[in-house]
Amino acid sequence: MIRINNERKIYAHTLFTHMVFFLPVIIPYYHSIGLSFRDFLIGEAIFSAVVFASEVPSGWVSDVWSRRTTLVLGGLFGVAGYSLLINADSLFTACLSQGIIGVAVALNSGTNTAILYDGLHEEGRIEEYRKMDGTRHAIGLYGVAVASAIGAFVFTIHPKLPLVLDMSALICAMIAISCAREPKRYTQSVEKNLFHDMWSTMKYALHGHKEVAGIIILSAVMLCATKLMMWAQQPYLEQAGLPVQWFGLVLAGAYIFGGFLGQHSHRIEHIGTNRSILSIVVLVLIMACVVLGAGVGVVVAIPLFLTGTVAYACGQPRINNAINNNVGPERRATVLSSASLMVHILFIPSSLAVGYVSEHTNLHGSLFFIAGELMMLGCLALWLWRKRHHNLVPAKER
């Protein structure tokens, strides 16, 4: 009973940290304080830069200090960031708040799964980790869905209410994880640091393992595009005349659908190779951005934007599977981490470019830009991936 309660506390922490009531109305909120879509993307670029820069020190804090305390500290930074954003009246304060929230995300990243893994390892139940972490991930997605539906509704009552609810949810998350038991740790430190390992990984990928470089690039460009599509959805639907209270329901439906696909994606892993399925995913994303850029009504736009959620839900497991199949166990974790951080690296210039294009043309032009970036980098990644110099498994399993 004690160990089950501990896992429930970890699940509760995941639920509350993912209940971002502010998510479906970020762009309308920025408009309410006199900032534009481009201003928001500048803040998002700063957010990604801070997350990237904070990954190593936050991981060090988690490894040498305490998993539980690190997660509580992440909650405190989150509350501080939202407190600043609720009083923001300029681009500087909005960007500063985004940076503080970025530190909170970095402190949670990795530690939230590590505390579950370490607890199961301590109890000799490590074989349950994949299933339980999948459950934890699904709980997070469903938490986002519920919060989205509520957040858009309360925004119509007062624009600052979603932020108040976000701070309340983080306080609940801190209480939940504070009640959890701190497990023994079984992780090993990297040889030097994560940035050194990333550099070694890229040298490994680009010298005789170009298929690995292709997978990493494809992961970055695909997940960066889905994130940009998600942020473009709000101003697009706003221009199309959809009432703000519907934004939450649209986003909630997308996350519920994505959570369901993510939970059951293992059932269709045997269909097609990883490369062929991800090629189709990239093609669908390009077509969706082109059609949206050409201008369509709300009824057509909503399912087209939904392709971004589907791409994330179905594409991420395929990316992980492709890395597992092409990389040996001695550097598999580092390649997975590098692929994750590459999304932040690519998102920084991409978000600034999309913001510039939307400011100097229009939102439709920025969607064409996303499609062009997907086409160029996606083709490069798939060309690199065709190399088969160091195969660890038969090609049919890829």
DSSP per residue, 113-140: HHHHHHHHHHTT-GGGHHHHHHHHHHHH
30 and 49 in a common domain: yes
pLDDT at 273: 77
196 and 322 in a common domain: yes
pLDDT at 262: 63
CA–CA dist 245, 253 (Å, integer):
14
pLDDT in tens, 80-96: 999 999 999 899 999 99
Strands (E), the chain: none
Which secondary structure element, helix H or strand E, spans residue 320, and what is its range?
A: helix 298-326
89 and 64 in a common domain: yes
CA–CA dist 308, 176 (Å, integer):
32
377 and 285 in a common domain: yes
Main-chain dihedrals φ then ψ at residue 6, nearest 5 degrees: -65, -45
371 and 239 in a common domain: yes
340 and 296 in a common domain: yes
239 and 267 in a common domain: yes
208 and 171 in a common domain: no
Cα distances (Å, whole numbers) of residue 353 to 90, 132, 370: 21, 39, 9
224 and 94 in a common domain: no
CB 69 within 8 A of CB 117: no
CB 261 within 8 A of CB 337: no
| Identity at 377, one-letter amino acid code | L
CB 211 within 8 A of CB 386: yes
Residue at 53 is within a domain: yes
Q: Which of 226, 224, 221, 217 is closest to 335 using CA atoms?
A: 217
Cα distances (Å, whole numbers) of residue 254 to 144, 148, 259, 265: 10, 10, 9, 16
244 and 272 in a common domain: yes
What CATH number corresponds to the domain at position 67?
A: 1.20.1250.20
Last residue of a domain, one of 181, 204, 236: 181
230 and 146 in a common domain: no
If phi > 0 it is left, if psi is from -120 to 50 it is alpha, else beta; for residue 286 that is alpha
217 and 176 in a common domain: no
Residue at 314 is within a domain: yes
Residue at 303 is within a domain: yes
Residue at 345 is within a domain: yes
pLDDT at 170: 96
Residue at 142 is within a domain: yes
Last residue of a domain, one of 163, 181, 199: 181
CA–CA dist 100, 230 (Å, integer):
22
| Number of independent structural domains in the chain | 2
For the chain, first and last CA: distance in Å? 41
**Residue ranges making up the domain that contains 82:** 1-181
Residue at 186 is within a domain: no
pLDDT at 397: 42
Name the stretches of the chain with pLDDT < 70. 1-4, 56, 126, 129-130, 134, 185-209, 259, 261-270, 272, 320, 324, 327-337, 387-398
Residue at 206 is within a domain: yes
Position of tokens 């299933």? 131
pLDDT at 188: 45
Residue at 260 is within a domain: yes
Last residue of a domain, one of 125, 149, 181: 181
